[in-house]
Structure formats: structure tokens, C-alpha cells
Homo-oligomer: A and B are copies of this chain.
Amino acid sequence: MTTYHHGNLRAALLRAGMKVIEKKGIRRLSVREAARRARVSHNAPYRHFPDRQSLLAGIAAEGFARLGEALKTSSGKAMGEAYVRFALEHPEVFRLMFGGTIRMGDHPPLREAADRAYQSLVDRFRAHGSEAEANVAAAAAWSLVHGLSHLLLDGHFQAPQRDAGGAAPFARQVLEAVRYSIGAQRSA
């Protein structure tokens, strides 16, 4: 029974941090709070993360890994809905990943995690046309599902849409509408 914490304080801090963020929001996760939950001094986290931003970056990277999984395990047509579902089910982590709290430039492993998740999406477009066309198509698809996720989370769609029965069905409508549009173009 060592006087130290345990084998993997880093992992414990990430787990604790993720939990706080999901339950109380990003602003409420302090380094000191993560330390408390991991039962170490307010100071121990600095052995594993140089600053609060890096702790947040670690949690965001874990978020990208989970998003990538969700995308990979969804069949082609359902990928857009899987993306939106991830955002709606993990709103605070999604905001951490994309809310500008952390700058990817400062955290290379975060950028790599994000790129891997995006690859799951781009790969589905490789079949269509030139590389440049695939890039544009993937960017458009990502933009659509990403913007839709954000706007739904922020509550920007009003009564007429919500009355239709909640966020998810509305999201499906929007995605279907655009899917048909793109299909029309392709076959033309």
C-alpha cells in the first residue's frame, strides 16, 4: 500500500474530468476538482498535464476517439444521423471538442485524434469522382451535420420544427432533404 495514488493517475484524471464535464459542463471542471475526485492533492495533476488546457485537450481527444468509433460502426447512409446523435447524447463533450476552448494547434495529439475521426467520414466519399471532388463533398457533408448538431444543441430551431416531434426526427428530415439533392445532382 504505497502512499502514492495508483498506477495511472493520468487515466483517472481523464475519466474524472470527462464525468464532470458531462454532468456539469466545461466551465465547472477545474484542475482542482479533477484532483479532488481522483483523491490527490490539488497539485498532483501537474505531473501529468502542464496546464488546464492540456487536461481539457486530453478529454477532447478521448471524445474524438469515441466519435470516430460511432461513425465507423454506422452504415453509410446512417452516418450523418450518428454524428448528430453523438452530439445530442454528449453535448458538453461535443462542445469541448468543437467550442474553441482548446486550440488544436497547441495539442498535436488532439489534432491527430480529430483527423482520425474525420477520416472515417472522408473515406465514404473516396468512391465519388476526383480526389478534389471527394474532398469538397466530404467537407460539405461534414459541415452540414456539424452545423446541424451545433444549432440543435443551442436550441436555435423553433416551434414549427420542434412540434414535429423533437430534435432527432427534424435532423433526419434535413439530412434526407440534402441527401436527395445530392443524389439528384449525381444522377444528372
Contacts and interface: CB of A to CB of B under 8 A. Distances in A.
Nearest to A95: B100
Contact of A148 (B91, B95, B139): B139
A44 interface: no
A184 B174 contact: no
A126 interface: no
A69 interface: no
A12 interface: no
A140 interface: yes
A87 to B, nearest CB: 11
A144 interface: yes
Identical subunits present: 2
A136 B184 contact: no
Contacts of A103: 155
Contacts of A118: 156
A115 interface: yes
Given A150-B146, A150-B150, A184-B185, A139 B157 contact: yes
Interface of A: 27, 91, 95, 98-101, 103-105, 114-115, 118, 131-132, 135-137, 139-140, 142-151, 153-158, 160-161, 170, 173-174, 177-178, 180-182, 184-185, 188
Given A91-B100, A100-B154, A142-B151, 15 more contacts: A99-B99, A104-B155, A104-B156, A115-B158, A135-B161, A136-B174, A137-B177, A139-B151, A139-B157, A142-B147, A143-B151, A147-B147, A178-B182, A181-B181, A184-B185
